[in-house]
Amino acid sequence: MSTLFENTTINGMNLCNRIVRSATWEGMCEPDGRPTSKLTDLYRQLALGGVGLIITGFTFVRPEGKQLPGKMGIHTDDFADEFKTMTNAVHEARGTIAVQLVHAGGQTDSANAGRRPLAPSAVEVDQFPEIPAELTTREIQEIISAFGAGARRAKKWGFDAVQLHGAHGYLINQFLSPLTNRRTDEYGGTIENRSRFLLEVYTEVREAVGGNYPVLVKLNASDNLEGGLEINDAVYAARKLSELGIDAIEVSAGTPASGKKAPVRQKIDTRAKEAYHLSLAGKIKEAVSCPVMVVGGMRSYEMAEKAVTESGMDYISMARPLIREPGLPNRWRDGDRSPATCISCNGCFAPGIKEGGIYCVVDKEEKGQ
């Protein structure tokens, strides 16, 4: 059996392989964030397809932190039945599922947030659709509490873990980045201060779920932006999280304003273009004692296996390949180790806006549907 298909454990959470479905927006929820049966079935299919750990699409902890339509919310007890149905369906399919908690901060807009967006600083930057309002200290504490409340609900409703979204220019990342964080109080300035919000969110979540429940984070190793978060500061934040007891770090990079070095790149059609965050993830791995996951352009079995056996990654994460092929892990496990059929066109996201849910448009066209 290949290393990729070893059984592993993260703080008591048993995983059947080292393949993680990285979070992506699916656009399959009601306008208020209530999950639908369509979304539940998507996660069920991923479980049946052999994914070791499913991480849900980014799930807002407060309504003003919602970025896109059809985005899932975990800000209210009203959705308990739908979430329990979701986790039960995944478990019945012998899958494991974590919910990703997020506040989009300045990367939302007034239409989705229902008000002027909130961010660490009221700055005009390319990644913000409008100039946000600067968070007060009281509002910061309220959002920190909301992360804890969301995590508490997640555990109660059957999720196997939670993941904090600290990447891709969302609120946690906005505090870490000197480009979007111009504060002069205890939350701004030095990397020690810019890390404070992340560490306080983690501490709140840990207190909410206890020590024996997995808490993960998705962390930018670099914003790939002039003036943004850079690797040395990301290593500092990762090391502090590891010292505090984070259970795993998924390494990514980039923001929507990062151009060709944005998180979701196109035309991953050669081996050389794969695993484009692997070197950054290696620097994080050297600094921490917790497991590390790497996302970004994994397309071939060989590269995924090498990331574990040669580069020291504990897990590899994928999103777009599993939109087209939810059964890709089983295919590789059963011996067909040809690359993922995903062509990295990003066409899968348009139906999320126009048709109430993402899907692979290329696959649909090829099948004549």
Token pair of 164 as six digits: 């904090």
- Measured CA to CA, the distance from residue 363 to residue 348 in angstroms comes to 10
Nearby residues of 334 by Cβ (< 8 Å), 6 or more positions away: none
170 among known catalytic residues: yes
- Marked catalytic residue, from 43, 170, 202, 315: 170
Angle of helix 137-156 versus helix 80-92 axis, rounded to 10: 50
Q: Strand, coil or helix: what is 150?
A: helix
Distances (CA, A) of 34 to 71, 119, 130, 135, 156: 8, 25, 27, 27, 17
For residue 243, report the phi and psi dihedrals to the nearest 5 degrees.
Answer: -65, -35
Taking the CA atoms of 177, 72, 162 and 41 in sequence, report the sign of the dihedral they define.
negative
Q: Is residue 185 within 8 Å of 137, Cβ to Cβ?
A: yes
Catalytic residues: 170
